[in-house]
Amino acid sequence: MLDTLDRLTPGSFPPIRRQSLQAPQVNLGYLCNQQCQHCHVDAGPRRTENMDATTIDLVIAKLEELRIEVLALQGGLKLCEVRSAFLRRNH
């Protein structure tokens, strides 16, 4: 195993500071008509996990609470359907 302890000690690299949340990303589900080897969520046609309406409402409420104007949506086949739900609730 590579020893990385020396990379954690203070050095000349400037400190990284977290700023306010500006553009969160929401993954809508794992159902997809593709089954790409590079998929980072292991989506596919046999996956059934998708965001439900209650969770969509929670996400929208949090966006409003935090006054976030940009939301990145990602997901498989469910994307169009859930994206429509987001748009319907936001207008």
Nearer to ligand SF4, 78 or 86 (CB): 78
Cβ count near 85 (within 10 Å) = 17
Question: Is residue 80 part of the contact set for ligand SF4 (CB under 6 A)?
Answer: no
- Location of structure tokens 């059934």: 48
- Location of structure tokens 């996400």: 59
Q: Which of 28, 43, 51, 63 binds ligand SF4 (CB under 6 A)?
A: 43
Closest to 45 (Cα-Cα) out of 25, 63, 30, 26: 30
Please say whether the beta carbons of 36 and 68 come within 8 A.
no
Question: Is residue 55 part of the contact set for ligand SF4 (CB under 6 A)?
Answer: no
CB of 39 to ligand SF4, least distance (A): 3
Closest to 22 (Cα-Cα) out of 87, 90, 71, 59: 71
Q: Which of 21, 24, 35, 53 binds ligand SF4 (CB under 6 A)?
A: 35
**Only segment of 3-11, 21-29, 30-38, 50-58 that touches ligand SF4 (CB under 6 A):** 30-38
Binding site for ligand SF4 (CB under 6 A): 32, 34-36, 39, 43, 76
